[in-house]
C-alpha cells in the first residue's frame, strides 16, 4: 500500500501525510498551480472594503492581485498588473485610492478596471483603450468572506463551498465586523499552520495555561459537501475561550446561537487557505499565503458582532481578546517552527493520526492525498 493510500484509510487506521508534502519544492509548485491558482482562495472580509476605492493588494501563487470596491459598491478582483508593459500597479497591502495609476508610464484605470488614460498613446494606430482594461479575476462574497479564483476553468463558488453557508448560518458570519487585523510570517509550511488550528490533540502540551481545560472532546467533523472541513466542540465550562482571566466579563453570546452552540466553538478550514474558529462571542480568522515550502504569510483577523463594537469600552475588551490570541499563537508558532525542522529531516516518516482529537486533520490529509494522486504525484 502506498503512503498516500495509507493516508486515505479511516481515521483510526490512517497515517499522516508524508513529510515530503511539507518540504518538497516540486509538490509546492503543484500546490501553487492547482490549489492556489486553481481553487477559490480566501481574500479577506467584505467589511475590509468600506468606501469606494478601498483596496487590498495581495500576491498569491506568484500572481499579484488587487481587490477593490467600486463606486457601485461591488468588490472586484483584478490582476495587479499594468496592461501596458506589465508593471505591478500597487505594492501588497491595503489602502484607499481614486484610481489605479501605473507608476511607470502613467496609464490609469478606473475602480471598475477600465483603462481611462494612456498618455501619448495617440501615436499608436488602432489603439482601442476599451481592449486594455485590467484583467478581471472571478470573485464572490459568501458569509461575509471574499473569495477569488485566479484560474480560467469555470468552477462555481457554490460548488466549491457545498453546504458551508448552511452549516455556519447560526453564527450569522455575514453580519460580523472585523475589529483587528495582524499580518506576520512563520517558518513552516502553510498546511502545518492550519492543521494545528484544527486539532485538539496539542492543547494539553502546548497551551497548558491558556487553552487546555477550556474544551471538551469535540464532536466528530460535520458532513461537508464542499472543499472544507468543520468540527464543533463544546466548552468544558460555561466560559468564553476568547479571553483569559476573570477580571471582566466576556462579550455576550452571539445572537443567532441556541442550545449547545451557545457554549462552544466551531473550527472550520475552507481549502486551501482560509480557516476560522467561530466561537460563542467572537470569530478568529486565519488566511495563509505560502511563500516557500517552509515559509508562510499569515493574515489574522478578529471578528465580532456589530453590537459589541458599538458598546462602550470595546477597545479594552478588544485588547483582552487580542492578548489571549497573541499568547496562544506564540505558543503554536514555537511548536510549528520546530515541527517544520523535524519534518524537513531526510529521516522523517509518516506517523499515525489520533482519531479522537485530530479527525479534521485526517479529513484534510485524505482530501489532499486525492489531489496529489490527481496531479500524478506518487510517493512510496
The site for ligand FES (CB under 6 A) is made up of: 82, 84-87, 102, 104-107
Work out what residue 87 binds among ligand FES, Fe ion, none; the CB cut-off runs from 5 to 8 Å by kind: ligand FES
Choose between 104 and 375: whose C-beta lies nearer to ligand FES. Answer: 104
Choose between 90 and 318: whose C-beta lies nearer to ligand FES. Answer: 90
Rounded to a whole number of angstroms, the minimum distance from the CB of residue 86 to ligand FES is 6
Which value, in Å, is the radius of gyration of the alpha carbons in the chain?
22
Work out what residue 304 binds among Fe ion, ligand FES, none; the CB cut-off runs from 5 to 8 Å by kind: none
Work out what residue 82 binds among ligand FES, Fe ion, none; the CB cut-off runs from 5 to 8 Å by kind: ligand FES
Choose between 9 and 84: whose C-beta lies nearer to ligand FES. Answer: 84
The CA distance from 55 to 276, in Å, is: 22
Rounded to a whole number of angstroms, the minimum distance from the CB of residue 331 to Fe ion is 6
* 75: exposed, middle or buried (Cβ count in 10 Å: 0-12, 13-18, 19+): buried
The CA distance from 191 to 378, in Å, is: 19
Choose between 10 and 106: whose C-beta lies nearer to ligand FES. Answer: 106
Work out what residue 239 binds among Fe ion, ligand FES, none; the CB cut-off runs from 5 to 8 Å by kind: none
Rounded to a whole number of angstroms, the minimum distance from the CB of residue 131 to ligand FES is 15
Please, which residues have CB within 8 angstroms of residue 312's CB and are 6 or more apart in sequence? none
Q: Which of residues 280-339 bind Fe ion (CB under 5 A)?
A: 332
Rounded to a whole number of angstroms, the minimum distance from the CB of residue 328 to Fe ion is 6
Work out what residue 332 binds among ligand FES, Fe ion, none; the CB cut-off runs from 5 to 8 Å by kind: Fe ion
The answer to whether the beta carbons of residues 44 and 287 sit under 8 Å apart is: yes
The CA distance from 55 to 223, in Å, is: 35
Rounded to a whole number of angstroms, the minimum distance from the CB of residue 37 to ligand FES is 23
Work out what residue 84 binds among ligand FES, Fe ion, none; the CB cut-off runs from 5 to 8 Å by kind: ligand FES
Binding residues for Fe ion, how many (CB under 5 A)? 1
Backbone angles phi, psi at 186, to 5 degrees: -130, 145
Closest CA to 177 of 312, 302, 319: 302
Q: DSSP character for 354?
A: -
Work out what residue 257 binds among ligand FES, Fe ion, none; the CB cut-off runs from 5 to 8 Å by kind: none
Closest CA to 150 of 63, 213, 209, 224: 63
Rounded to a whole number of angstroms, the minimum distance from the CB of residue 84 to ligand FES is 3
Choose between 108 and 291: whose C-beta lies nearer to ligand FES. Answer: 108
Which ranges in 131-287 belong to alpha helices (H)? 157-161, 164-168, 190-197, 203-206
The CA distance from 196 to 122, in Å, is: 57
Rounded to a whole number of angstroms, the minimum distance from the CB of residue 198 to Fe ion is 10
Residue with cell 506564540: 330
Interface ranges with Fe ion (CB under 5 A): 332
Amino acid at each position: 500500500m502506498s503512503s498516500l493510500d495509507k493516508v486515505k484509510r479511516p481515521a483510526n487506521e490512517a497515517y499522516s501525510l508524508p513529510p515530503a508534502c511539507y518540504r518538497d519544492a516540486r509538490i509546492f509548485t503543484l500546490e501553487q498551480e492547482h490549489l492556489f491558482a486553481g481553487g477559490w482562495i480566501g481574500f479577506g472580509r467584505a467589511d475590509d472594503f468600506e468606501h469606494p476605492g478601498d483596496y487590498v493588494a495581495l500576491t498569491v501563487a506568484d500572481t499579484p492581485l488587487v481587490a477593490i470596491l467600486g463606486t457601485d459598491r461591488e468588490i472586484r478582483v483584478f490582476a495587479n498588473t499594468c496592461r501596458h508593459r506589465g508593471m505591478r500597479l500597487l505594492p501588497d497591502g491595503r489602502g484607499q485610492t481614486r484610481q489605479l495609476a501605473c507608476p511607470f508610464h502613467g496609464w490609469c484605470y478606473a475602480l471598475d478596471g477600465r483603462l481611462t488614460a494612456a498618455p501619448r498613446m495617440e501615436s499608436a494606430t488602432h489603439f482601442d483603450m476599451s481592449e486594455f482594461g485590467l484583467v478581471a479575476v472571478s470573485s464572490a462574497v459568501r458569509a461575509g468572506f471574499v473569495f477569488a479564483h485566479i484560474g480560467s476553468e469555470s468552477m462555481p463558488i457554490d460548488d466549491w463551498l457545498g453546504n458551508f453557508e448552511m452549516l455556519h448560518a447560526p453564527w450569522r458570519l455575514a453580519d460580523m465586523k472585523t475589529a483587528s487585523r495582524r499580518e506576520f510570517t512563520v517558518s513552516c509550511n502553510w498546511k502545518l499552520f492550519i492543521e494545528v488550528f484544527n486539532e485538539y490533540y496539542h492543547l494539553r502540551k502546548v497551551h497548558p495555561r491558556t487553552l487546555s481545560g477550556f474544551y471538551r472532546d469535540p464532536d466528530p467533523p460535520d458532513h461537508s459537501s464542499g472543499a472544507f472541513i468543520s468540527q464543533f466542540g463544546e466548552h468544558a465550562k460555561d466560559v468564553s475561550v476568547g479571553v483569559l482571566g476573570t477580571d471582566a466579563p466576556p462579550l455576550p453570546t452571539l445572537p443567532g446561537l441556541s442550545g449547545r452552540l451557545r457554549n462552544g466553538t466551531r473550527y472550520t478550514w475552507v481549502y486551501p487557505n482560509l480557516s476560522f474558529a467561530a466561537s460563542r462571542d467572537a470569530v478568529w480568522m486565519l488566511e495563509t499565503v505560502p511563500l516557500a515550502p517552509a515559509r508562510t504569510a499569515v493574515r489574522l483577523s478578529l471578528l465580532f458582532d456589530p453590537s459589541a463594537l458599538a458598546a462602550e469600552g470595546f477597545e479594552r475588551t478588544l485588547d483582552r481578546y487580542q492578548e489571549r490570541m497573541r499568547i496562544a499563537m506564540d505558543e503554536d508558532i514555537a511548536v510549528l517552527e520546530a515541527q517544520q525542522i523535524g519534518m524537513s529531516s531526510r529521516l522523517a516518516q509518516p506517523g499515525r493520526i489520533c482519531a479522537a482529537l485530530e479527525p479534521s486533520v485526517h479529513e484534510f490529509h485524505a482530501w489532499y492525498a486525492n489531489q496529489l494522486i490527481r496531479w500524478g504525484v506518487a510517493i512510496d
